[in-house]
Amino acid sequence: MKNLRLLQLAAISLFAALVISCSEHSGSTHKNKHTVLKFTRHKLIDKQGTGYVAATYLVPEGWKVQDKIEWNINSVAQPATITLLIYDEETNSSMQGFPNKVFLVNTDKEMNEEYPAGSNYLGAEVINQKPGVLDLIKNYILPEFENNEGFKIIESKNLSLAKSNHKRAVEFKNTDSKSGRVKIEYTENGKVFEESIYATITFVPVSKYQQYAYLSMCYGCKAIKGDLENTMDIFETILNSVKLNPKWAVTYNQVMQMAMRDAMESRGYSGDNNNYYNGYWENDEGSNYNNSSDGNYEGGTTGGNYDGTNYSTGNTGSLSNYLQQANGYVNDAMIQNYENQQRSNDRMSEARSDYMLDYQNYTDPNTGEVLKLSSGYSNAWTDNSGNVIMSNEAGYDPNVGGGSSSWSSLDVGGSTVAAPEAPVATTPDPD
């Protein structure tokens, strides 16, 4: 079998693709039919894996949330995925996050004999042609809607990264990435709905004949037909408010890299090779991961078995063992470097016009924190828990009428990012 140089995919920040990004908008000003919008800060907890709060985001008051992180350590290319549903029972509006998918695009005829299209290679579905983002949306997301009464596709549109992934677009700026939106219509419980489904596909070259295709930033915004455009201010506020916990992100990245290494060693690839894992390890002695002399981690590894449709990667060590090792390695310097990189990315991203995309920055005068919220509201407030209220109602004051929270008015303006600190070395002291 050809050496796919699989670990080169680690060059892209895969954990960033787990987080829901920001939606495309036409650039016109919202009608903002909501005179007062109150949001509470919700915590997404990784119950199955780390136990950490993985991320937080704002949710409209009264809306329900169903979200979870699912781990599959044998899916080496993407060992964890996030799904979510945020919905309002009163208006029937909702936002759904779909799990990311990974594909191995292979044009090598010899490899195709062993791994035909549709088979599974290290958690990635093998395909033989480079796909388009709209085709992937239609083939892998829309099938769950096709049985709905009156289902039809209203529009299919390729999007610029600036419009489709506002806050995180810079992470895809220099990659082979494409974004798209498919707008659909269907009837549910006697009501006609519109839903816009967004996704981004990123290609990572592996060799002359292979590349990985990551379908990420997959989410749908849904409302009663005619109300979708007027509800986008809510969806965009949710999307712009996502804050990833750096400790969870760095831990996820370490688990992914260790699973990759074990999978490759189970195939007979040695960690002695220089430049192994695209520079993450200089050689076996310089490995960041305290592997044992035989190259195995707790739980050990075994050779994989191909049954014609699926391949077992050989990661027989339990998720808890990987997490234990990752937690022992993650340190404050790594987390600081991650935070610095995110600030640098956000600084470049913010150079684009928030006005054209209907976003407005607000600064908390007490803490200096800057929030990026939907524009078109004359006033905004926050409390000590990070909850937010926006209003166009003249004379509205959230502190009037009692309540347990004390609300501070936010000032219009400010930057969401600060200059990054100097990078800190992440390689542990050899002593």
pLDDT tens profile 227-237: 998 888 888 88
Q: Which helix (H) or strand (E) holds 178?
A: strand 176-188
Final residue belonging to a domain, choices 193, 209, 242: 242
Contact (Cβ atoms closer than 8 angstroms) between residue 377 and residue 371? no
287-328 confidence digits (pLDDT tens): 333 333 233 323 333 333 323 333 334 444 588 889 998 988
Residues 184 and 61 reside in one and the same domain: yes
Asked if the structure places residue 326 within a domain, the reply is: no
Same domain, 233 and 368: no
Q: Which of 426, 195, 403 is nearest to 333 (CA)?
A: 426
| Residue 283 placed within a domain | no
Domain span including residue 403: 351-412
pLDDT of residue 51 exceeding 50? yes
Q: Do 234 and 357 lie in a common domain? A: no
Q: Which of these ranges, 26-30, 208-212, 251-255, has the smallest mean pLDDT?
A: 26-30
pTM score > 0.95 for this model? no
Q: Residues 267-270: contacts with CB within 8 Å, 24+ apart? A: 267/303, 267/304, 267/314, 269/3, 270/295
Predicted confidence at residue 217, as pLDDT, reads: 84
Residue at which a domain ends, from 242, 273, 298? 242
* Residues 154-170 pLDDT 10s: 999 998 654 444 444 44
Give percent above pLDDT 70 in the chain.
68
The answer to the question of residue 249 being in a domain is no
In a domain, 344, yes or no: no
On whether both 221 and 101 belong to a single domain, the answer is: yes
50 and 79 Cβ atoms separated by less than 8 Å: no
- Tokens linked to 415: 């930057």
Say if CB 277 and CB 261 are below 8 A apart. Answer: yes
What's residue 424's pLDDT?
40
| Domain tally, the chain | 2
Assess whether pLDDT exceeds 90 at residue 428.
no
Of the residues 186, 216, 242, the one at which a domain ends: 242
pLDDT of 245 strictly over 50? yes
Q: Judge contact between 319 and 259, C-beta under 8 A.
A: no
- The packing angle between helices 319-329 and 246-266, to 10°, is 120
Instruction: Note whether 18 and 163 are same-domain residues.
Output: yes
277 in any annotated domain = no
Question: Comparing 131 with 338, which gets the higher pLDDT?
Answer: 131
Query: Is 75 part of a structural domain of the chain?
Result: yes
**pLDDT at residue 10 tops 60:** no
Identify whether 136 is part of a domain: yes
| CA atoms 264, 203, 81, 332: torsion sign | positive
pLDDT class of 413 with cuts at 50, 70, 90: confident
Shared domain for 73 and 196, answered yes or no, is yes
Indicate whether 3 pLDDT > 90: no
Residues 12-40 have pLDDT tens digits of: 334 444 444 433 433 334 455 567 889 99
288 falls within a domain: no
Q: Name the nearest CA neighbour of 179 among 383, 57, 23, 299.
A: 23
The SS3 of residue 111 is helix
